[in-house]
Amino acid sequence: MAYVTAIVMLALVQYFYFSIEVGRARGRFGIAAPAISGNEEFERYFRAQQNTLEQLAMFIPAIYATAYYGNPLYAAAAGVVFLIGRMLYFRSYVKEPSSRTLGFMLSMVPSLGMVIAALVLSCMTFMG
């Protein structure tokens, strides 16, 4: 489980980094808080960060449940793919939003796979 916890902490550090990038973009483009619009490039940074927050809501419980009911190493490996996908998503969305598909898929597929795996594995414990 230590691997899984390390991956989750890396995901939170990554999210913190994305938050810093949004703050830097806010300054670069002159978007005073609490505004979240006014410059298209700033909005890309902000939206990519918000999408990552939305993804974390599914990823964190899914990775822990998969590790608990299944195999922690498989869960950690899926988590590494998620981290890579999120970084690709963030960078590609900021550069050109239409190029975000690979990063999105590399983060969504592992999360969805872990949700399904945890659901199946947890239900199997009820059946004996």
Q: Which domains does the chain possess?
A: 2-127 (1.20.120.550)
Determine the pLDDT at residue 126: 82
SS3 category, 6: helix
Residues 29-57 have a mean pLDDT of 96
Residues 33-46 have a mean pLDDT of 95
User: Taken in order 113, 116, 117, 118, is the CA torsion positive or negative?
Assistant: positive
pLDDT digits (tens, 9 = 90+) for 77-110: 999 999 999 999 999 999 999 999 999 999 999 9
Determine the pLDDT at residue 15: 98
pTM: 0.94
Q: With cut-offs at 50, 70 and 90, classify the pLDDT of residue 50.
A: very high
**Contact assessment for residue 21 and residue 45, using Cβ atoms and an 8 Å cutoff:** yes
**Contact assessment for residue 117 and residue 66, using Cβ atoms and an 8 Å cutoff:** yes
